[in-house]
Amino acid sequence: MSKLDGKVALVSGSGRGIGRAIALKLASEGARVVVNDLDKEPAEETVAAIKAMGSDAVACVGNVSAADFGDRFVGTAVDTFGTADIVVNNAGFTWDAVVQKMTDEQWQAIMDTHVTAPFRILRAFAEVLRANAKKEAEEGKEVFRKVVNISSIAGLYGNAGQINYSSAKAALVGMTRTMAKEWGRYKCNVNCVAFGYVKTRMTQELQKDGAATVKIEDKDLPVGIQPQMIKMMEAMIPLGRGATPEEAADAVYLFCSPESNYISGQVVLAGGGLIV
């Protein structure tokens, strides 16, 4: 019997990269998964991969920063699988600039995605959580549910050129600790994983012809890191290299497993030993 059999997990931003790896990891342990991505194709590819593993999944396509997304995301889980047990707030992107060059649009876009969206998702999840917890308490059962918020080493220590991203990721730490206190009585563990350098399309090596881009709705945003910066980061990591998406997913799984039933309100840095 797998450790997440019978559980329903919602993973935002799970069509690609770390989110996809998280969705596949949870599914490998028996969870049914609600997959989200901005675009239909990668979301459906992750759904197909989960079904090929023998588990089940459904796609909820769209921008997490949309006002109705939280209700729609949780509603997809309830309508498809009847409940929701695990929420991983993973979706995100970067849009960097030093403070004097950062626009209000850049600031707000990152705050909307990394702070407001998780808040709305958790607010929607609260209705399912409270109803289930009340019923289980009346039956004398103790059933644990899980929330994992994804932060960053930038949110813990700051990072030059990322005042928006660092501020948003720091806010998730406060959100985590607050919700751990609010939801303890509902047997919901709320924890946070802060990633260091993880090798994804967002952190790929810059090419000689310039930065690669990712499309966020109508904007093509540059992504990538200078090769010398990657070498410097990896030299600072005690384990000697950046993480794979699968290793990042393993850190999230720790907080979704039954072994974390008495751990809540915690922040773990998955950074290969790097402490800035």
Q: Are 155 and 194 in contact (CB under 8 A)?
A: yes
- Cα distances from 186 to residues 3, 44, 75, 183, 249, in angstroms, run 20, 33, 20, 5, 25
Q: 157, 165, 186, 253: which is the annotated catalytic residue?
A: 165
Q: Are 174 and 156 in contact (CB under 8 A)?
A: no
- How do beta strands 267-270 and 57-59 pair? unpaired
H/E element, 9:
strand 8-11
Query: For this structure, is 157 an active site residue?
Result: no
Q: Are 86 and 108 in contact (CB under 8 A)?
A: no
- The residues carrying an active-site annotation are 165
